[in-house]
Homo-oligomer: A and B are copies of this chain.
Amino acid sequence: MMLLENTDVNKSQWEDLHTYIDNDEMEPFRDEFLSMHPYDQSLFFEKQQEYVRQHIYTYLSPNETADIMEHIELVDIKPFITEMDPRFAAMVIGEMATDDAVDILNELDKDVVVSLLTMMDAKDADEIKELLHYEEKTAGSIMTTEFVAVHQTKTVKDTMNFLKAEAPDAETIYYLYVIDADKHLVGVVSLRDLIVAEEDVRISDVMNENVFAVSVGKDQEEVSQMMRDYDFLALPVVDFQHHLLGIITFDDILDVMDEEATDDYSKLAGVTDTDRPQDGAFAAAKKRLPWLVILSFLGMLTASLINQFEKTLDQMAVLAIFIPLIAGMSGNTGTQALAVAVRGLATGNFSKEGKWKLILREASTGMITGAVCGTVITAIVYVWQGDFFLGLLVGVSIMATLIVATLSGALVPIFMDKLQIDPAVASGPFITTINDIISILIYFGLATAFMQLLI
Protein backbone atom coordinates (compact mmCIF):
# COMPACT_ATOMS: atom_id res chain seq x y z
CA MET A 1 0.00 0.00 0.00
CA MET A 2 1.24 3.48 -0.74
CA LEU A 3 0.10 6.37 1.35
CA LEU A 4 -0.40 9.53 -0.68
CA GLU A 5 1.21 12.07 1.61
CA ASN A 6 1.88 14.96 -0.68
CA THR A 7 2.84 15.45 -4.27
CA ASP A 8 6.56 15.62 -3.43
CA VAL A 9 8.65 13.38 -5.61
CA ASN A 10 10.45 10.31 -4.38
CA LYS A 11 14.03 11.60 -4.53
CA SER A 12 15.93 8.31 -4.24
CA GLN A 13 13.70 6.81 -6.94
CA TRP A 14 14.51 9.71 -9.27
CA GLU A 15 18.23 9.26 -8.56
CA ASP A 16 17.99 5.57 -9.42
CA LEU A 17 16.23 6.41 -12.68
CA HIS A 18 18.92 8.94 -13.58
CA THR A 19 21.66 6.40 -12.89
CA TYR A 20 20.00 3.84 -15.18
CA ILE A 21 19.71 6.40 -17.97
CA ASP A 22 23.33 7.56 -17.56
CA ASN A 23 24.49 3.93 -17.82
CA ASP A 24 21.98 3.23 -20.58
CA GLU A 25 20.49 0.32 -18.61
CA MET A 26 17.12 -0.19 -20.23
CA GLU A 27 15.71 -3.13 -18.28
CA PRO A 28 16.33 -1.79 -14.73
CA PHE A 29 14.95 1.57 -15.89
CA ARG A 30 11.78 -0.06 -17.22
CA ASP A 31 11.30 -2.10 -14.03
CA GLU A 32 11.58 0.95 -11.81
CA PHE A 33 9.75 3.41 -14.06
CA LEU A 34 6.79 1.20 -14.96
CA SER A 35 6.23 0.38 -11.27
CA MET A 36 5.33 4.04 -10.81
CA HIS A 37 1.84 5.40 -11.38
CA PRO A 38 1.56 7.09 -14.81
CA TYR A 39 1.00 10.44 -13.09
CA ASP A 40 4.27 10.04 -11.16
CA GLN A 41 5.91 8.95 -14.42
CA SER A 42 4.70 12.19 -16.01
CA LEU A 43 6.16 14.28 -13.15
CA PHE A 44 9.58 12.70 -13.73
CA PHE A 45 9.29 12.89 -17.50
CA GLU A 46 8.38 16.59 -17.60
CA LYS A 47 11.31 17.64 -15.43
CA GLN A 48 13.94 16.04 -17.70
CA GLN A 49 16.06 17.63 -20.37
CA GLU A 50 15.40 16.68 -23.96
CA TYR A 51 18.31 14.21 -24.29
CA VAL A 52 17.01 12.29 -21.26
CA ARG A 53 13.51 12.17 -22.74
CA GLN A 54 14.95 10.92 -26.02
CA HIS A 55 16.40 7.98 -24.04
CA ILE A 56 13.01 7.38 -22.45
CA TYR A 57 11.30 7.25 -25.87
CA THR A 58 13.63 4.45 -26.94
CA TYR A 59 13.05 2.51 -23.67
CA LEU A 60 9.25 2.63 -23.74
CA SER A 61 6.62 1.28 -26.10
CA PRO A 62 4.18 3.71 -27.79
CA ASN A 63 1.45 2.44 -25.45
CA GLU A 64 3.58 3.09 -22.34
CA THR A 65 4.46 6.55 -23.63
CA ALA A 66 0.77 7.25 -24.32
CA ASP A 67 0.01 6.59 -20.61
CA ILE A 68 2.45 9.35 -19.67
CA MET A 69 1.05 11.77 -22.26
CA GLU A 70 -2.47 11.33 -20.90
CA HIS A 71 -1.28 12.78 -17.58
CA ILE A 72 0.44 15.85 -18.99
CA GLU A 73 -1.50 19.10 -19.17
CA LEU A 74 -2.68 19.84 -22.67
CA VAL A 75 -1.03 23.25 -22.88
CA ASP A 76 2.38 21.73 -22.14
CA ILE A 77 2.25 18.81 -24.54
CA LYS A 78 3.20 20.29 -27.92
CA PRO A 79 7.02 20.32 -27.46
CA PHE A 80 7.03 16.66 -26.37
CA ILE A 81 5.09 15.48 -29.42
CA THR A 82 7.20 17.54 -31.81
CA GLU A 83 10.53 16.33 -30.38
CA MET A 84 9.55 12.67 -30.93
CA ASP A 85 10.36 10.81 -34.12
CA PRO A 86 7.18 11.49 -36.17
CA ARG A 87 6.49 7.80 -36.74
CA PHE A 88 6.77 7.13 -33.00
CA ALA A 89 4.59 10.17 -32.21
CA ALA A 90 1.91 8.85 -34.57
CA MET A 91 1.94 5.48 -32.79
CA VAL A 92 1.77 7.13 -29.36
CA ILE A 93 -1.25 9.21 -30.35
CA GLY A 94 -2.86 6.18 -31.97
CA GLU A 95 -2.61 4.32 -28.64
CA MET A 96 -4.36 7.07 -26.67
CA ALA A 97 -8.09 7.30 -25.98
CA THR A 98 -9.63 8.92 -29.06
CA ASP A 99 -10.88 12.00 -27.21
CA ASP A 100 -7.47 12.64 -25.64
CA ALA A 101 -5.78 12.12 -29.02
CA VAL A 102 -8.10 14.70 -30.58
CA ASP A 103 -7.38 17.18 -27.79
CA ILE A 104 -3.65 16.85 -28.46
CA LEU A 105 -4.00 17.17 -32.23
CA ASN A 106 -5.98 20.37 -31.69
CA GLU A 107 -2.86 21.82 -30.02
CA LEU A 108 -0.60 21.05 -33.01
CA ASP A 109 -0.10 22.84 -36.31
CA LYS A 110 -2.34 21.71 -39.13
CA ASP A 111 0.37 20.27 -41.40
CA VAL A 112 1.84 18.28 -38.48
CA VAL A 113 -1.63 16.82 -37.80
CA VAL A 114 -2.06 15.77 -41.42
CA SER A 115 1.32 14.03 -41.53
CA LEU A 116 0.73 12.30 -38.18
CA LEU A 117 -2.66 11.02 -39.35
CA THR A 118 -1.19 9.57 -42.54
CA MET A 119 1.47 7.67 -40.56
CA MET A 120 -1.11 6.28 -38.14
CA ASP A 121 -2.95 2.96 -38.20
CA ALA A 122 -5.88 3.58 -40.61
CA LYS A 123 -8.58 2.55 -38.12
CA ASP A 124 -7.26 4.85 -35.38
CA ALA A 125 -6.88 7.69 -37.87
CA ASP A 126 -10.48 7.32 -39.06
CA GLU A 127 -11.84 7.44 -35.51
CA ILE A 128 -9.79 10.54 -34.77
CA LYS A 129 -10.75 12.28 -38.02
CA GLU A 130 -14.41 11.80 -37.21
CA LEU A 131 -14.03 13.51 -33.82
CA LEU A 132 -11.91 16.33 -35.25
CA HIS A 133 -15.00 17.55 -37.11
CA TYR A 134 -16.89 18.57 -34.00
CA GLU A 135 -16.84 22.14 -32.90
CA GLU A 136 -14.73 23.07 -29.87
CA LYS A 137 -16.48 23.19 -26.50
CA THR A 138 -19.36 20.95 -27.63
CA ALA A 139 -20.34 17.51 -26.39
CA GLY A 140 -18.87 16.07 -29.62
CA SER A 141 -15.46 17.54 -28.91
CA ILE A 142 -15.11 15.94 -25.46
CA MET A 143 -16.76 12.56 -26.11
CA THR A 144 -14.92 9.32 -26.77
CA THR A 145 -15.91 6.68 -29.31
CA GLU A 146 -14.45 3.84 -27.23
CA PHE A 147 -17.63 2.78 -25.50
CA VAL A 148 -19.33 -0.61 -25.20
CA ALA A 149 -22.61 -0.96 -27.08
CA VAL A 150 -24.67 -4.15 -26.93
CA HIS A 151 -27.57 -5.27 -29.02
CA GLN A 152 -30.87 -5.49 -27.11
CA THR A 153 -31.53 -9.07 -28.21
CA LYS A 154 -28.33 -10.45 -26.62
CA THR A 155 -28.45 -12.41 -23.33
CA VAL A 156 -26.67 -11.46 -20.11
CA LYS A 157 -24.24 -14.37 -20.56
CA ASP A 158 -23.35 -13.39 -24.16
CA THR A 159 -22.81 -9.85 -22.97
CA MET A 160 -20.51 -10.84 -20.11
CA ASN A 161 -18.40 -12.89 -22.53
CA PHE A 162 -18.33 -10.01 -24.99
CA LEU A 163 -17.23 -7.72 -22.15
CA LYS A 164 -14.31 -9.99 -21.27
CA ALA A 165 -12.97 -9.39 -24.75
CA GLU A 166 -13.76 -5.65 -24.88
CA ALA A 167 -12.75 -4.67 -21.33
CA PRO A 168 -9.10 -3.80 -22.01
CA ASP A 169 -9.93 -1.27 -24.77
CA ALA A 170 -13.10 0.50 -23.68
CA GLU A 171 -12.95 3.79 -21.78
CA THR A 172 -15.54 2.55 -19.31
CA ILE A 173 -17.20 -0.83 -19.03
CA TYR A 174 -19.36 0.11 -16.07
CA TYR A 175 -22.19 1.32 -18.27
CA LEU A 176 -23.21 -0.54 -21.39
CA TYR A 177 -25.35 1.23 -23.93
CA VAL A 178 -28.08 -0.78 -25.63
CA ILE A 179 -28.87 -0.25 -29.31
CA ASP A 180 -31.44 -1.58 -31.73
CA ALA A 181 -30.80 -2.96 -35.23
CA ASP A 182 -30.45 0.59 -36.64
CA LYS A 183 -27.96 1.66 -33.97
CA HIS A 184 -30.49 3.88 -32.20
CA LEU A 185 -29.82 4.23 -28.49
CA VAL A 186 -32.66 2.42 -26.70
CA GLY A 187 -31.41 1.77 -23.17
CA VAL A 188 -28.60 1.44 -20.68
CA VAL A 189 -27.52 -1.34 -18.36
CA SER A 190 -24.94 -0.99 -15.62
CA LEU A 191 -22.36 -3.66 -14.97
CA ARG A 192 -23.80 -3.75 -11.46
CA ASP A 193 -27.20 -4.80 -12.90
CA LEU A 194 -25.55 -7.38 -15.17
CA ILE A 195 -23.74 -9.02 -12.28
CA VAL A 196 -26.93 -9.38 -10.26
CA ALA A 197 -29.00 -10.61 -13.23
CA GLU A 198 -29.65 -14.23 -14.27
CA GLU A 199 -27.41 -15.45 -17.09
CA ASP A 200 -30.06 -16.35 -19.68
CA VAL A 201 -32.16 -13.17 -19.46
CA ARG A 202 -32.18 -10.87 -22.48
CA ILE A 203 -30.59 -7.43 -22.26
CA SER A 204 -33.88 -5.80 -23.27
CA ASP A 205 -35.39 -7.23 -20.07
CA VAL A 206 -32.73 -5.91 -17.68
CA MET A 207 -31.94 -2.60 -19.35
CA ASN A 208 -33.24 0.74 -18.17
CA GLU A 209 -35.18 2.31 -21.05
CA ASN A 210 -35.07 5.71 -19.40
CA VAL A 211 -31.57 6.37 -20.68
CA PHE A 212 -30.51 10.00 -20.79
CA ALA A 213 -28.42 11.38 -23.64
CA VAL A 214 -27.21 14.71 -24.99
CA SER A 215 -27.04 15.84 -28.57
CA VAL A 216 -23.61 16.12 -30.14
CA GLY A 217 -23.69 19.92 -30.50
CA LYS A 218 -24.56 20.65 -26.86
CA ASP A 219 -22.33 23.15 -25.03
CA GLN A 220 -19.75 21.40 -22.82
CA GLU A 221 -20.50 23.57 -19.78
CA GLU A 222 -24.18 22.57 -19.89
CA VAL A 223 -23.19 18.92 -20.27
CA SER A 224 -20.92 19.21 -17.26
CA GLN A 225 -23.68 20.82 -15.18
CA MET A 226 -26.16 18.07 -16.18
CA MET A 227 -23.76 15.25 -15.33
CA ARG A 228 -23.23 16.76 -11.89
CA ASP A 229 -26.94 17.39 -11.31
CA TYR A 230 -27.89 13.85 -12.30
CA ASP A 231 -24.79 12.18 -10.80
CA PHE A 232 -23.90 10.38 -14.02
CA LEU A 233 -20.57 8.57 -14.32
CA ALA A 234 -20.98 8.58 -18.10
CA LEU A 235 -23.45 10.11 -20.54
CA PRO A 236 -24.14 8.96 -24.11
CA VAL A 237 -24.00 11.40 -27.03
CA VAL A 238 -26.40 11.03 -29.98
CA ASP A 239 -27.02 12.69 -33.33
CA PHE A 240 -30.36 14.28 -34.25
CA GLN A 241 -31.76 10.86 -35.25
CA HIS A 242 -30.77 9.41 -31.87
CA HIS A 243 -27.97 7.25 -33.23
CA LEU A 244 -25.37 6.58 -30.55
CA LEU A 245 -22.13 8.43 -31.44
CA GLY A 246 -20.02 8.32 -28.30
CA ILE A 247 -19.93 8.78 -24.56
CA ILE A 248 -18.68 11.46 -22.21
CA THR A 249 -16.99 10.18 -19.07
CA PHE A 250 -16.30 11.69 -15.69
CA ASP A 251 -12.68 12.66 -16.25
CA ASP A 252 -13.70 14.79 -19.26
CA ILE A 253 -16.12 16.70 -17.05
CA LEU A 254 -13.45 17.38 -14.45
CA ASP A 255 -11.35 19.09 -17.08
CA VAL A 256 -14.33 21.16 -18.21
CA MET A 257 -15.07 22.18 -14.61
CA ASP A 258 -11.48 23.25 -14.00
CA GLU A 259 -11.47 25.18 -17.27
CA GLU A 260 -14.73 26.99 -16.51
CA ALA A 261 -13.81 27.84 -12.90
CA THR A 262 -10.48 29.31 -13.98
CA ASP A 263 -12.28 31.16 -16.75
CA ASP A 264 -14.83 32.80 -14.41
CA TYR A 265 -12.08 33.64 -11.95
CA SER A 266 -9.93 35.26 -14.64
CA LYS A 267 -12.83 37.31 -15.91
CA LEU A 268 -13.62 38.63 -12.43
CA ALA A 269 -10.00 39.74 -12.28
CA GLY A 270 -10.20 41.39 -15.69
CA VAL A 271 -8.01 39.15 -17.79
CA THR A 272 -9.63 38.61 -21.20
CA ASP A 273 -8.16 35.21 -21.88
CA THR A 274 -6.95 32.70 -19.31
CA ASP A 275 -3.52 33.85 -18.17
CA ARG A 276 -1.23 31.07 -16.94
CA PRO A 277 1.85 31.43 -14.75
CA GLN A 278 4.01 29.66 -17.32
CA ASP A 279 3.22 32.08 -20.19
CA GLY A 280 5.78 34.74 -21.09
CA ALA A 281 5.57 38.42 -20.23
CA PHE A 282 4.52 39.46 -23.74
CA ALA A 283 1.72 36.88 -23.84
CA ALA A 284 0.54 38.07 -20.42
CA ALA A 285 0.70 41.74 -21.40
CA LYS A 286 -1.25 41.02 -24.59
CA LYS A 287 -4.04 39.41 -22.55
CA ARG A 288 -4.23 42.23 -20.01
CA LEU A 289 -3.78 45.27 -22.21
CA PRO A 290 -7.27 45.27 -23.80
CA TRP A 291 -8.84 45.81 -20.39
CA LEU A 292 -6.22 48.28 -19.24
CA VAL A 293 -6.56 50.41 -22.38
CA ILE A 294 -10.37 50.41 -22.16
CA LEU A 295 -10.02 51.37 -18.52
CA SER A 296 -7.64 54.20 -19.46
CA PHE A 297 -10.36 55.71 -21.58
CA LEU A 298 -13.06 55.15 -18.96
CA GLY A 299 -10.69 56.69 -16.41
CA MET A 300 -10.42 59.76 -18.66
CA LEU A 301 -14.19 59.96 -18.62
CA THR A 302 -14.07 60.01 -14.82
CA ALA A 303 -11.39 62.68 -14.95
CA SER A 304 -13.45 64.88 -17.28
CA LEU A 305 -16.44 64.41 -14.94
CA ILE A 306 -14.45 65.70 -11.98
CA ASN A 307 -13.27 68.50 -14.24
CA GLN A 308 -16.91 69.59 -14.54
CA PHE A 309 -16.83 70.27 -10.83
CA GLU A 310 -13.69 72.41 -11.15
CA LYS A 311 -15.30 75.37 -9.39
CA THR A 312 -16.38 73.27 -6.41
CA LEU A 313 -12.94 71.69 -6.23
CA ASP A 314 -11.15 75.07 -6.45
CA GLN A 315 -13.21 76.39 -3.54
CA MET A 316 -12.68 73.27 -1.44
CA ALA A 317 -9.47 71.39 -2.29
CA VAL A 318 -10.06 69.16 0.76
CA LEU A 319 -12.80 67.35 -1.22
CA ALA A 320 -10.06 65.76 -3.34
CA ILE A 321 -8.59 63.74 -0.49
CA PHE A 322 -11.70 61.58 -0.13
CA ILE A 323 -11.96 60.68 -3.82
CA PRO A 324 -10.05 57.37 -3.52
CA LEU A 325 -12.03 56.41 -0.41
CA ILE A 326 -15.40 56.92 -2.07
CA ALA A 327 -14.42 55.43 -5.43
CA GLY A 328 -12.73 52.47 -3.72
CA MET A 329 -15.67 51.64 -1.46
CA SER A 330 -18.15 51.77 -4.34
CA GLY A 331 -15.91 49.59 -6.50
CA ASN A 332 -15.50 46.99 -3.79
CA THR A 333 -19.15 46.69 -2.84
CA GLY A 334 -20.01 46.44 -6.53
CA THR A 335 -17.57 43.55 -7.01
CA GLN A 336 -18.98 41.76 -3.97
CA ALA A 337 -22.53 41.99 -5.35
CA LEU A 338 -21.32 41.08 -8.84
CA ALA A 339 -19.62 37.89 -7.65
CA VAL A 340 -22.84 36.61 -6.07
CA ALA A 341 -24.94 37.40 -9.13
CA VAL A 342 -22.46 35.96 -11.66
CA ARG A 343 -21.93 32.78 -9.66
CA GLY A 344 -25.69 32.44 -9.24
CA LEU A 345 -26.33 32.90 -12.96
CA ALA A 346 -23.47 30.52 -13.86
CA THR A 347 -24.75 27.66 -11.72
CA GLY A 348 -28.24 28.12 -13.19
CA ASN A 349 -31.51 27.68 -11.32
CA PHE A 350 -32.29 31.40 -11.30
CA SER A 351 -36.00 31.83 -11.95
CA LYS A 352 -37.47 35.18 -12.97
CA GLU A 353 -38.73 35.82 -9.45
CA GLY A 354 -35.29 34.73 -8.22
CA LYS A 355 -33.73 37.62 -10.15
CA TRP A 356 -36.18 40.17 -8.74
CA LYS A 357 -35.59 38.78 -5.29
CA LEU A 358 -31.83 39.15 -5.75
CA ILE A 359 -32.19 42.76 -6.90
CA LEU A 360 -34.39 43.54 -3.91
CA ARG A 361 -31.95 41.83 -1.60
CA GLU A 362 -28.97 43.72 -2.98
CA ALA A 363 -30.86 47.00 -2.52
CA SER A 364 -31.49 46.10 1.13
CA THR A 365 -27.91 44.91 1.63
CA GLY A 366 -26.66 48.18 0.17
CA MET A 367 -28.84 50.14 2.59
CA ILE A 368 -27.54 48.23 5.60
CA THR A 369 -23.85 48.40 4.64
CA GLY A 370 -24.34 52.01 3.50
CA ALA A 371 -25.87 53.04 6.83
CA VAL A 372 -23.12 51.33 8.83
CA CYS A 373 -20.17 52.58 6.77
CA GLY A 374 -21.72 56.03 6.32
CA THR A 375 -22.07 56.47 10.09
CA VAL A 376 -18.54 55.24 10.81
CA ILE A 377 -17.06 57.52 8.16
CA THR A 378 -19.07 60.60 9.21
CA ALA A 379 -17.73 60.15 12.75
CA ILE A 380 -14.09 59.68 11.66
CA VAL A 381 -14.06 62.63 9.27
CA TYR A 382 -15.78 64.87 11.88
CA VAL A 383 -13.19 63.98 14.54
CA TRP A 384 -10.28 64.25 12.14
CA GLN A 385 -11.16 67.40 10.17
CA GLY A 386 -13.25 69.01 12.95
CA ASP A 387 -15.97 69.83 10.40
CA PHE A 388 -19.33 68.16 10.98
CA PHE A 389 -20.82 69.10 7.62
CA LEU A 390 -17.80 67.78 5.77
CA GLY A 391 -18.11 64.54 7.74
CA LEU A 392 -21.80 64.37 6.90
CA LEU A 393 -21.12 65.06 3.21
CA VAL A 394 -18.56 62.24 2.96
CA GLY A 395 -20.69 59.88 5.07
CA VAL A 396 -23.88 60.51 3.11
CA SER A 397 -21.98 60.17 -0.17
CA ILE A 398 -20.64 56.80 1.00
CA MET A 399 -24.12 55.68 1.97
CA ALA A 400 -25.65 56.74 -1.35
CA THR A 401 -22.83 55.24 -3.43
CA LEU A 402 -22.91 51.97 -1.51
CA ILE A 403 -26.63 51.58 -2.22
CA VAL A 404 -26.32 52.42 -5.91
CA ALA A 405 -23.07 50.49 -6.41
CA THR A 406 -24.36 47.34 -4.69
CA LEU A 407 -27.50 47.47 -6.80
CA SER A 408 -25.54 47.98 -10.02
CA GLY A 409 -23.34 44.99 -9.13
CA ALA A 410 -26.46 42.83 -9.34
CA LEU A 411 -28.22 44.67 -12.19
CA VAL A 412 -25.37 44.67 -14.71
CA PRO A 413 -24.85 40.87 -14.89
CA ILE A 414 -28.60 40.20 -14.86
CA PHE A 415 -29.05 42.68 -17.69
CA MET A 416 -26.17 41.11 -19.64
CA ASP A 417 -27.67 37.68 -19.13
CA LYS A 418 -30.95 38.99 -20.56
CA LEU A 419 -29.04 40.24 -23.62
CA GLN A 420 -27.58 36.70 -23.88
CA ILE A 421 -24.07 37.95 -23.08
CA ASP A 422 -22.03 35.80 -20.67
CA PRO A 423 -22.49 37.70 -17.38
CA ALA A 424 -18.95 36.78 -16.31
CA VAL A 425 -17.75 39.36 -18.86
CA ALA A 426 -19.07 42.02 -16.44
CA SER A 427 -15.82 41.66 -14.60
CA GLY A 428 -14.47 43.37 -11.52
CA PRO A 429 -12.66 46.17 -13.43
CA PHE A 430 -15.74 46.96 -15.50
CA ILE A 431 -18.13 47.27 -12.56
CA THR A 432 -15.45 49.13 -10.58
CA THR A 433 -15.11 51.77 -13.26
CA ILE A 434 -18.87 52.23 -13.70
CA ASN A 435 -19.15 52.64 -9.96
CA ASP A 436 -16.23 55.11 -9.92
CA ILE A 437 -18.23 57.33 -12.23
CA ILE A 438 -21.47 56.98 -10.27
CA SER A 439 -19.76 57.68 -6.95
CA ILE A 440 -17.93 60.78 -8.23
CA LEU A 441 -21.22 62.18 -9.57
CA ILE A 442 -22.95 61.62 -6.23
CA TYR A 443 -20.08 63.01 -4.16
CA PHE A 444 -19.43 66.18 -6.15
CA GLY A 445 -23.13 66.62 -6.86
CA LEU A 446 -23.91 66.66 -3.15
CA ALA A 447 -20.89 68.87 -2.42
CA THR A 448 -21.92 71.43 -5.04
CA ALA A 449 -25.55 71.45 -3.88
CA PHE A 450 -24.69 71.99 -0.23
CA MET A 451 -21.63 74.21 -0.79
CA GLN A 452 -22.94 77.01 1.43
CA LEU A 453 -22.97 74.67 4.46
CA LEU A 454 -19.38 73.58 3.83
CA ILE A 455 -17.51 76.90 3.58
Using a CB–CB cutoff of 8 Å, the interface residues on chain A facing chain B are: 1-7, 35, 37, 39, 70-71, 160, 163-164, 167-168, 173-174, 184-187, 191-192, 195-196, 209-215, 218, 222, 225-226, 228-231, 233, 235, 238, 242, 250-251, 254, 257-258, 261-262, 264-266, 268-271, 275-277, 279-282, 284-285, 288-289, 291-293, 295-296, 299-300, 302-304, 306-307, 310, 313-314, 317-329, 331-333, 335-336, 338-341, 343-344, 348-350, 354, 357-358, 361-362, 364-365, 367-369, 372-373, 376-377, 380, 384, 398, 402, 428-429, 432-433, 436, 440
Within the complex, what minimum Cβ distance (angstroms) separates A163 from chain B? 6
- Residues of B near A185 (CB, < 8 A) are 1
Rounded to whole Å, the gap between the CB of A277 and the closest CB of chain B is 4
Closest beta carbon of chain B to A323's beta carbon, Å? 5
Q: A300-B380, A323-B320, A361-B284 are in contact. Are A338 and B213 (CB under 8 A)?
A: no
* Nearest residue, chain B, Cβ from A376: B296
Asked if B215 contacts A195 (CB within 8 A), the reply is no
Kindly state the separation between the CA atoms of A337 and B296 in the bound complex, as whole angstroms. Answer: 18
Q: Contacting A432 at CB < 8 Å: which of B238, B332, B365, B440?
A: B332
Q: Name the 9 nearest CB pairs between A and B, nearest first.
A: A299-B325, A269-B339, A281-B364, A320-B320, A261-B261, A277-B344, A285-B368, A306-B321, A332-B429
Copies of the protein in its oligomer = 2
Given A195-B164, A340-B276, A432-B331: A293 in contact with B373 (beta carbons within 8 A): yes
B332 & A365 in contact (Cβ 8 Å cutoff): no
Residue of B nearest to A231 (CB): B251
Which of A168, A281, A344 has the most B CB atoms < 10 Å from its CB? A281
In the complex, the chain B residue whose C-beta lies closest to that of A160 is B195
Main SS at interface, chain A: helix
Chain B residues with CB under 8 Å of A262's CB are: 343
Docked-complex contact A365 and B295, CB < 8 angstroms = no
Q: Name the residue of chain B whose CB is nearest to the CB of A36.
A: B210
CB distance from A37 to the nearest CB of B (A): 6
Once A7-B348, A320-B320, A373-B296 are accepted as A-B contacts, the answer to whether A191 and B174 lie under 8 Å apart by CB is yes
B3 A280 Cβ-Cβ under 8 A: no
**Residues of chain B contacted by A349 (CB below 8 angstroms):** 7
Contacting residues, chain B, for A174 (C-beta < 8 A):
174, 191
- A303 engages B321 (CB within 8 Å): yes
Q: Which residues of B contact A326 (CB under 8 A)?
A: 299
- Which residues on B sit within 8 Å (CB–CB) of A164? 195-196
Contact A173 B186 (CB under 8 A): no
Contact A432-B314, Cβ < 8 Å, known A35-B210, A213-B1, A288-B333: no
Given A1-B213, A300-B377, 16 more A-B residue pairs with CB atoms under 8 Å apart are A4-B212, A4-B218, A4-B226, A5-B215, A7-B229, A35-B210, A173-B195, A257-B257, A261-B261, A266-B343, A270-B332, A277-B350, A280-B361, A289-B372, A299-B328, A303-B325
**Given known contacts A39-B229, A343-B262, A348-B7, is B269 in contact with A335 (CB within 8 Å)?**
yes
A192 touches B211 (CB 8 A): no
Give A277 to B346 CA distance when docked, in angstroms.
12
- Least Cβ–Cβ distance between A420 and chain B, in angstroms: 14
Which residues from B are CB-within-8-Å of A325? 296, 299-300, 302-303
Closest to A161 in B: B195
Residue of B nearest to A255 (CB): B228
CA distance A225 to B321 in the complex (A): 47
Which of B39, B71, B282, B295 meets A328, CB within 8 Å?
Answer: B295
